[in-house]
Amino acid sequence: MQARLLLVEDDERIRQALGLALADEGCDVVEAASGEEALGRLGTTPVDVVLLDLMLPGMDGLDVCRTLRDRGDLPIIIVSARTDTADVIEGLEAGADDYVTKPLVASELAARIRALLRRRHGTGEPRRSLRVGDVEIIPDEDVVRRAGREVHLTRTEFRLLVELAAAEGRVVTREELLKRVWGYDYFGDTRLLDVHIRRLRRKVERDPDEPECVVTVRGRGYKAGTPG
């Protein structure tokens, strides 16, 4: 699988080194040194995944992330030296699918990219539609409807909902969700999951503060709410 990546990174040395190493991992790398340049490149070159640094000159990485998210569900991985919880949450809230912290090696990044793209392309086999409360999921059409109206989810949110719905009310632990949705090895960092669950709830729940579809099971994980 030859994935085309857009690497948005202002530090030239990091950009070069990561570019070389990712090319070694079998990726086709397009580089951009700023947010503006990145958005410009995207207008002309179709890419599969965006790797986004947060500290960029001019347009901030978070703004780039939000802009891209508004345009569609192009997978975004934030690659940042900021490790504080607040930064991670902010980045994910801006719409990123994943958040990795520097220093990181290309092989790890490649594994995450592959997982993200698997999420995007699906497994290929036809799947039956699922239902959680008044939310209907049709995996083959990548469509989610709540009370008949279509809800737009990112690929990550979609996979998360499918995993929960497929468990049919059984508890799915946080670790299982991380592994199945993000695909890479358990990372111990569940801020990723927390923010995505929150985002998902905002889209599918009638009242995100009183979730009925995505229910927390204290100390264990999550489950799909029982319909009705």
Partner 1 sequence: MVRIVRLTLRRRVAAAFGLASLVVTGVLAAATWNLAGDYMLDQREMSAVRQAEVNVRLVDQALRTGADGLDDLLSGLTSDSESTVLVSRPEGWITSGRRVDPAALPPPLVSLASSGVADTERIVVDRVPVLAVALPASVRPDVYIELFPLVELERTMGFLGLVLASGVAASGLLGFALGAWTGRRALRPLTELTTAASRMAGGDMRARLPDYADRDLAALASAFNDTAEALEARVRQDARFAGDVSHELRSPLTTMANAAAVLRRRRGELAGTARQALDLLLSEVDRFERMVVDLLEISRHDLASDETGAGGTTTELVDLGELVRMVLDVRRCTPAVIEIEQPAPLVQGDRRRLDRIVANLLDNADRYAGGAVRVAVLHCDGRARLEVDDAGPGVAPHLRERVFERFARGDQAGQRGQDGGSGLGLALVAQHVRAHHGTVRIEDRPGGGARFVVELPTAEG
Residue 37 interacting with partner 1 (CB under 8 A): no
Residue 21 interacting with partner 1 (CB under 8 A): yes
Q: How far is the CB of 80 from partner 1 (least distance, A)?
A: 9
Residue 123 interacting with partner 1 (CB under 8 A): no
Residue 28 interacting with partner 1 (CB under 8 A): no
Residue 85 interacting with partner 1 (CB under 8 A): yes
Q: How far is the CB of 13 from partner 1 (least distance, A)?
A: 5
The secondary structure of the chain, three-state, reads CCEEEEEECCCHHHHHHHHHHHHHCCEEEEEECCHHHHHHHHHHCCCCEEEECCCCCCCCHHHHHHHHHHHCCCCEEEEECCCCHHHHHHHHHCCCCEEEECCCCHHHHHHHHHHHHHHHHCCCCCCCCEEECCEEEEHHHCEEEECCEEECCCHHHHHHHHHHHHCCCCCEEHHHHHHHHHCCCCCCCCHHHHHHHHHHHHHHCCCCCCCCCEEEECCCEEEECCCC
Q: Which stretch binds partner 1 (CB under 8 A): 10-18, 114-122, 154-162, 201-209?
A: 10-18
* Contact code string over 95-114 relative to partner 1, x by CB under 8 A: ------xxxxxxx-------
Residue 81 interacting with partner 1 (CB under 8 A): yes
Residue 17 interacting with partner 1 (CB under 8 A): yes
27 alpha carbon, distance to own chain's centre: 19
Q: How far is the CB of 216 from partner 1 (least distance, A)?
A: 10
Residue 147 interacting with partner 1 (CB under 8 A): no
Residue 163 interacting with partner 1 (CB under 8 A): no
Sites of contact with partner 1 (CB under 8 A): 11, 13-14, 16-18, 20-21, 24, 55, 81-86, 101-107, 173-175, 185-186, 188-191, 218-220
